[in-house]
Amino acid sequence: AAGVIQSPRHLIKEKRETATLKCYPIPRHDTVYWYQQGPGQDPQFLISFYEKMQSDKGSIPDRFSAQQFSDYHSELNMSSLELGDSALYFCASSGLSVSGEQYFGPGTRLTVL
């Protein structure tokens, strides 16, 4: 079965640079969630989109923005990167038919030098 696709899998950036992470949800899933996971930590919710509209917002820095496009893929844009932004970033998707169940992608490992 098709899973959530994230790209790139690994990204290395310098401080103050910009990064864009992409997420392609499972086909027919209409909701996308973004999570950040630091080393040895549990995933922390950043932001979510339902039917291309922002549905919830967590502890996402103002330097980050995200959107969901007409084909339901989502992008997380991160500007003025800081060392503390180094983490695993996961996208998860869900659909109405499996309400509550979120399926995670493989993640993007962002390293800020």
Partner 1 sequence: GQQLNQSPQSMFIQEGEDVSMNCTSSSIFNTWLWYKQDPGEGPVLLIALYKAGELTSNGRLTAQFGITRKDSFLNISASIPSDVGIYFCAGQLYGNKLVFGAGTILRVKS
The burial class, CB within 10 Å (0-12 / 13-18 / 19+), for 73 is middle
Q: How far is the CB of 23 from partner 1 (least distance, A)?
A: 11
Q: Identify the residue among 48, 68, 74, 93 touching partner 1 (CB under 8 A).
A: 48
Written as six digits, the tokens of 86 are 């180094």
17 to 46, contacts with partner 1 by CB under 8 A?
Answer: 31, 33, 35, 41-45
Q: How far is the CB of 16 from partner 1 (least distance, A)?
A: 26
The burial class, CB within 10 Å (0-12 / 13-18 / 19+), for 37 is middle
Collapse the DSSP code of 85 into the 3-class scheme (helix H, G, I; strand E, B; otherwise coil) and give the result: helix
Distance CA 95, CA 85 (A): 29
102 touches partner 1 by CB under 8 A: yes
74 touches partner 1 by CB under 8 A: no
Q: Identify the residue among 36, 105, 110, 112 touching partner 1 (CB under 8 A).
A: 105
Q: How far is the CB of 46 from partner 1 (least distance, A)?
A: 9
